Structure formats: structure tokens, C-alpha cells
Amino acid sequence: MYDNLKFGVQTEIWNDSIAVRIGRGDRSQGTFQIAEPIVFRDTKAGTIVTPMLHLNNQEAQDLMDQLYACGISPSKLAGSTGQLSAVQYHLEDMRKLVFK
């Protein structure tokens, strides 16, 4: 039985990209598999296709963590981070007013 997918994500500054490597091991057999480059094929718009990859929740979280370590974060997160900062400043101001 193969372990969860493992992701290796690395920023490549010389070509402004992020390299993604995927592998999985079978501990009982002592083997390791690597994913090969994706191949694109032409298809008609609207064609139903099989997903090229399925991730369980742990694998998806690992990929997200790896991307975050490379400086990539969800676009929607930026707004909530700014909102959180505003709330923190407001709470700090309220503490100053209440405890003076």
C-alpha cells in the first residue's frame, strides 16, 4: 500500500517559477514512485474529463503548506489578514481607554 503523496515545492528564482515534485513510497516494499511531467492533449470545450489528480485532505494540506513555505498564500487570505490587524488595533485602543 502506498503512503500519502509527498510534495516537494521549490522556488526557482532564475525563471520566476515554482517547481513541484510529487512522489509516494511503499514502506512495506521499500520502493518509491515519482510523478512524471504532465502531458496536455487537445479536447473539445465542454468535454467531461477525468481529474488528473485526486488528493486526500492531508495531501492537500501538505501541498498548501509547501506552497505557503514558498511565499504563496490564498488571495482571499490577504483581505482577512488586513481585517484582523484592524481588529487588533481597535482592541488595543479599547484596552487603553478602559484601563486608564
In a domain, 47, yes or no: no
In a domain, 42, yes or no: no
In a domain, 61, yes or no: yes
pLDDT digits (tens, 9 = 90+) for 18-48: 999 999 999 888 999 999 999 999 999 999 9
12 pLDDT exceeds 90? yes
In a domain, 1, yes or no: no
Domain count, the chain: 1
In a domain, 20, yes or no: yes
- The domain in which residue 78 lies consists of 6-37+53-98
In a domain, 44, yes or no: no
Lowest mean pLDDT across 1-10, 34-43, 75-84: 75-84
At residue 81, the pLDDT reads 59
DSSP 20-89: EEEEEEETTTTEEEEPPPP------TT-----S----HHHHHHHHHHHHHTT---HHHHHHHHHHHHHHH
In a domain, 82, yes or no: yes
* pTM for the whole structure: 0.68
What is the distance between the alpha carbons of residues 20 and 24, in angstroms, rounded to a whole number? 14
